[in-house]
Structure 1
Amino acid sequence: MDPRIREHAEIIANHSVDLEAGDNVVIDAHPVAEDLVVALHEVIGDRGANPVTTSQRTGKRSQRAYLRASDDEFETPDHELALIENTDVYIAIRASDNVTQSSDVDPETQAAHRQAHQPILEERLGTRWCLTQFPAPANAQLAEMSTEGYENFVWDAVNKDWDEQKAHQANMVDLMDGADEIRIKSGDTTDVTMSIAGNPTLNDHGKHNLPGGEVFTAPIPDSVEGEVLFDMPLYHQGREITDVYLEFEGGEVIEHSAAKNEETLTEVLNTDEGARRLGELGIGMNRDIDQFTYNMLFDEKMGDTVHMAVGRAYDDTIGEDNEGNDSAVHVDMIVDMSEGSVIEIDGEVVQRNGTFRFEDGFEA
């Protein structure tokens, strides 16, 4: 076994989920990630914890078959909920043998299925959880990389000094914490403002998402004004969506479009009332993620980017006296900030053309 896989497993256990003796652990993984699952079982056994492996959220052929055969009427599965209710640690491993496996499943069916599983999502978020990636060949192909090249890319981004990364990102947390308004401007296509007053800024250094590499918070739901062109594509429900354009008024999306698969974007926005509002603003800060790979777990962490998510706001990003946005979806989309762009906090430029105020080369 590649020693980097064992290192990956150790980082998950020791850094991301703080594995303890007696913990009930659920590992949710596609079979293609078996090597990492095996390495995790070794660590879990050494620690005296209790593993169960499932493949409930991995987009396998079985899930596609189930959804295509269903009648769009779903109820929350009590047995799956009961499993998570008795779980201390939840580890989700992204990997695939076909990244477009669910592309021929009706978006309305997928949306209904997600809504029925919302209570399970809520329960998972109450565990010590981690979402990570195994470098499977299908994911390498999507990234237009060789398998070996993609393995190097993934483990360079994952197996790193997370205390050092945390200290680097703390500079941005200090700028955002206590701020009132953020403005994101890029070229002639993106100019959006939002209030974050009273909401904490979190430092993602590989705890819940591995790799980490962003700082993020939640906008005040009704404060978002302006327009955004998300000029980096995303994969959602097995479909590529490109050039997403959103116009906000009073915090709500009032106009939207996409160059490709606009109907999928429309289905996302129609999921529920909260799907037309922003639940997250994130600033990418992981310089080891230096190329776009069609994988949001990595792409949203790239330096020189910001991302915004329509839908659910994470509870930890909501201030004590503030109200968060609620939704069954959380869909991240990315803006390239490397050229002709600025981030302003309360009127002060803190990033220009991808370079932060606290980095060498910043020009005020």
Structure 2
Amino acid sequence: MDPRIRDHAQTVIDHSTDIDSGDRVVIGAPAAASDLVIALYEECANRGAHPVSLQNDSRATRAFLQNYTDTDDFETPSHLLALYQEMDTYIAIRGDENATETADVNPETNAAYRRAMQPVLQERLSKTWCLTQYPTTGNAQLAGMSTEAYENFVWDAVGLDWNAQREHQSQLVDILADADEVRIQSGSNTDVTMRIAGNTALNDYGEKNLPGGEVFTAPIKHSVEGEVHFDMPLYRQGREIEDVRVQFNEGYVESYSAGRNETVLDGIFATDEGARYLGELGIGMNRAIDQFSYNMLFDEKMGDTVHMAVGSAYAETVGEDNERNESAEHVDMIVDMSEDSTIEVDGEIIQRNGTFIFEEEF
């Protein structure tokens, strides 16, 4: 076994989830990530924790969704929900042998399935959890890298000095802590404002997401105004969505378009009412991730980027006096902020062309 796999497992157990004796741990992973699952089991045994693993198989998921006859009849799997209710910690491992496995599933079917699974997702998110990546050949191919290069890319990003990253990102957390309005401009097609007063900006330094490397919060639900050109592509439901443009009015996605696979957006926005409001504003700060890889776990953390997610807001980012946006969806989309771009907080520019006010190059 590559020693970096055991290093990865130790980071998940010690840094991201802080697993202790007696903890009940559920690990969801594809078969291709079995080495990391084994390493996690070893680490759980060393700490007296009790792991259970679930195999996440995209081919099986596709077979189920393609053959289910009545999508209006999807039910929340109560047996899976019961498992999550009993666990203390959930570790999700991504790793695709075929990143486009579910590309031919009807977007409306996907939306119906996500609605049925929402209680399961909410239960998972209420516990200690970590989402991470195993470097598979399918994801390497999607990123346009050799297998070896992709392994180096993943494990370099996972093995960052997270204490140093936390300190660096805390400077942005301090700026946003008492902020009211954020304005994001990029090129001639992105100019959007939103209020965040009363909401909490969180410092993601490799805990819930590994790799981490962002500061994120929730906008006040009805405060988002303006237009955004998400000029970096995203992969969703096995399809590449490009050139997304969204117009917000009083927080609501009033209109939208995409240069490719707009039908996937149709399904996302039709999922439920909350899918047409923003649930997250995130600002990428991980400069160790310096290559776009068609993997949102990494791409949204890149320095010189901003991402916004339509759909559910993380409960811990929403102040008790503000309304939390709820949805079965949470879909991140990215704006490149490296050129002709600014972030303003209460009228003051705090980032220009990807460089923050607290960095020497500003």
Query: TM-score w.r.t. structure 2 length?
Result: 0.99
Which whole-Å CA distance do the structure 2 matches of 1:162 and 1:197 have between them? Answer: 28
Amino acid in structure 2 at the alignment position of 1:145? M
Which whole-Å CA distance do the structure 2 matches of 1:155 and 1:164 have between them? Answer: 17
The residue that corresponds to 1:329 in the other structure is 329
Which secondary structure does the structure 2 equivalent of 1:331 belong to?
A: strand
Q: CA deviation at 1:320?
A: 1.7
Which whole-Å CA distance do the structure 2 matches of 1:120 and 1:332 have between them? Answer: 20
Matched residue pairs, number? 360
* 1:134-173 equivalences in 2 (<5 Å): 134-173=134-173
The residue that corresponds to 1:277 in the other structure is 277
Which whole-Å CA distance do the structure 2 matches of 1:320 and 1:334 have between them? Answer: 28
Structure 1 residue 259 and structure 2 residue 259: aligned? yes
On the 8 A contact 1:59/1:102 being kept in 2, the answer is: no
Amino acid in structure 2 at the alignment position of 1:320? E
Which secondary structure does the structure 1 equivalent of 2:265 belong to?
A: helix
- 1:257-313 deviation per Cα after TM superposition (whole angstroms, max 9, x unaligned): 000000111110111111110000000000100010000000000000000000000
Which secondary structure does the structure 1 equivalent of 2:174 belong to?
A: helix
The residue that corresponds to 1:61 in the other structure is 59
Amino acid in structure 2 at the alignment position of 1:44? C
Which whole-Å CA distance do the structure 1 matches of 2:57 and 2:349 have between them? Answer: 42
The residue that corresponds to 2:289 in the other structure is 289
The residue that corresponds to 2:349 in the other structure is 349
Which secondary structure does the structure 1 equivalent of 2:152 belong to?
A: helix
Q: CA deviation at 1:174?
A: 0.6
* 1:1-364 equivalences in 2 (<5 Å): 1-55=1-55, 58=56, 60-70=58-68, 71-72=70-71, 73-362=73-362
Which whole-Å CA distance do the structure 1 matches of 2:248 and 2:110 have between them? Answer: 26
Which whole-Å CA distance do the structure 2 matches of 1:59 and 1:182 have between them? Answer: 40
Which whole-Å CA distance do the structure 2 matches of 1:279 and 1:214 have between them? Answer: 15
Which whole-Å CA distance do the structure 2 matches of 1:96 and 1:273 have between them? Answer: 31
Which secondary structure does the structure 2 equivalent of 1:188 belong to?
A: coil
Q: CA deviation at 1:5?
A: 0.6
On the 8 A contact 1:306/1:336 being kept in 2, the answer is: yes
Which secondary structure does the structure 1 equivalent of 2:65 belong to?
A: helix
On the 8 A contact 1:230/1:245 being kept in 2, the answer is: yes
Identity %: 64
Structure 1 unaligned residues grouped into runs of 5+: none
Which whole-Å CA distance do the structure 1 matches of 2:48 and 2:260 have between them? Answer: 49
Which secondary structure does the structure 2 equivalent of 1:203 belong to?
A: strand
- 1:95-132 deviation per Cα after TM superposition (whole angstroms, max 9, x unaligned): 01100000011111111111111111111011110000
Which whole-Å CA distance do the structure 2 matches of 1:78 and 1:336 have between them? Answer: 41
Amino acid in structure 2 at the alignment position of 1:273? E
Which whole-Å CA distance do the structure 1 matches of 2:111 and 2:267 have between them? Answer: 8
Q: Kindly report structure 1 stretches of 4+ aligned residues shifted beyond 3 Å.
A: none
On the 8 A contact 1:26/1:91 being kept in 2, the answer is: yes
Q: CA deviation at 1:327?
A: 0.5
Which secondary structure does the structure 2 equivalent of 1:117 belong to?
A: helix
Which whole-Å CA distance do the structure 1 matches of 2:265 and 2:77 have between them? Answer: 27
Q: CA deviation at 1:59?
A: 5.0
Q: CA deviation at 1:360?
A: 1.5
Which secondary structure does the structure 2 equivalent of 1:358 belong to?
A: coil
Which secondary structure does the structure 1 equivalent of 2:19 belong to?
A: coil
Which whole-Å CA distance do the structure 2 matches of 1:251 and 1:112 have between them? Answer: 24
Which whole-Å CA distance do the structure 2 matches of 1:22 and 1:361 have between them? Answer: 48
Which secondary structure does the structure 2 equivalent of 1:215 belong to?
A: strand
Query: TM-score w.r.t. structure 1 length?
Result: 0.98
Structure 2 unaligned residues grouped into runs of 5+: none
Q: CA deviation at 1:160?
A: 1.7
Which secondary structure does the structure 1 equivalent of 2:349 belong to?
A: strand
Amino acid in structure 2 at the alignment position of 1:277? Y
- 1:211-253 deviation per Cα after TM superposition (whole angstroms, max 9, x unaligned): 0000000000100000000000000111110011000011101
- Aligned-CA RMSD value: 0.7
Amino acid in structure 1 at the alignment position of 2:90? Y
On the 8 A contact 2:31/2:57 being kept in 1, the answer is: no
On the 8 A contact 1:235/1:294 being kept in 2, the answer is: yes
Amino acid in structure 2 at the alignment position of 1:60? S
Which whole-Å CA distance do the structure 1 matches of 2:249 and 2:50 have between them? Answer: 49
Amino acid in structure 2 at the alignment position of 1:345? V
On the 8 A contact 1:59/1:101 being kept in 2, the answer is: no
Which secondary structure does the structure 1 equivalent of 2:293 belong to?
A: coil
